[in-house]
Amino acid sequence: LMTELLQYRFSGAVASDTSLEGHSFGNLLLAAMTNVTGDFEQAIKETSRVLAIRGLVLPSTVQNVSLMAEMDNGEVVEGETSILSSPHGIRSVYLNPADVRPMDETLEAIRKADAILIGPWSIYTSIVPNLLVHGVAEALAASKALKVYICNVMTQPGETDGYTAEDHLHALEKHLGPGLFAKVVVNLPPPGSSTPPGASWVAPELRPRPHLDVIQGELTSVITPWQHDSEKLAEIIMQLLP
């Protein structure tokens, strides 16, 4: 329930204040905690403590930065909510300013990692922006850790409409370059399962790439089939670890 709460996005049908429309509760919680503590890094630490999160949560950067997107029609849009509400597809995303600096602790965690798992989450508005922070992608490329991309099971309306697993991986490669991952985990859609309005199953096909293993499995949750079953996914990941 807590996961659903933090991922919840306000819609016009339930938000009395229409300015909340499109925003996730988790992002709003972090914004509020930043105002309370006066510091984004401290806000993450305090939010982790309040929610009793196990492990260490590190942001890619603590600097103020805007997410920009170039749409298929050439238009440039700023901000996640505006990007997702655009009627046009996303061609590419970038950060403004482009030279935003990472946290030293984040780069150190990447260097020390035995395994690095990326995804599942929004390609253009969640995953890629973190990897565009100066030095993060380079640290990932230099790391000797096992690097695994976990592809979404469903398309995201306004962001990845009609995307296949190949489209998801291509979007990462377009921004970060090829050869970053050793493994890709994709879902085999369960037969006969319905999808939420505006979404569709991500087709699992991927074109062959050198030194890339594709792991397929029926990984969706019985209760929420548009999401991964955490136990099924964890079992696969544990089998991949050295």
* pTM confidence score: 0.84
Q: Which helix (H) or strand (E) holds 215?
A: strand 213-217
**Collapsing DSSP states into helix, strand and coil, what is residue 145?**
coil
Q: What is the pLDDT of residues 107-159, one digit of tens each?
A: 999 999 999 999 998 999 999 999 999 999 999 999 999 999 999 999 998 99
Q: What is the number of other CB atoms lying within 10 angstroms of the CB of residue 18?
A: 10
Residue 205 identity (one-letter amino acid): E
Which among 159, 44, 172 has a CA at the least distance from the CA of 118? 172
Read off the tokens for 71: 């749409």
Read off the tokens for 187: 């879902």
pLDDT of residue 14: 52
Helices (runs of H) and strands (runs of E) counted in the chain: 9, 7
Positive or negative: CA dihedral 14, 19, 23, 25:
negative
Q: What is the pLDDT of residues 201-229, one digit of tens each?
A: 999 999 999 999 999 999 998 888 888 99
109: Cβ–Cβ under 8 A, 6 or more apart, which residues?
56, 58
83 CB burial (10 A radius; 0-12, 13-18, 19+): buried
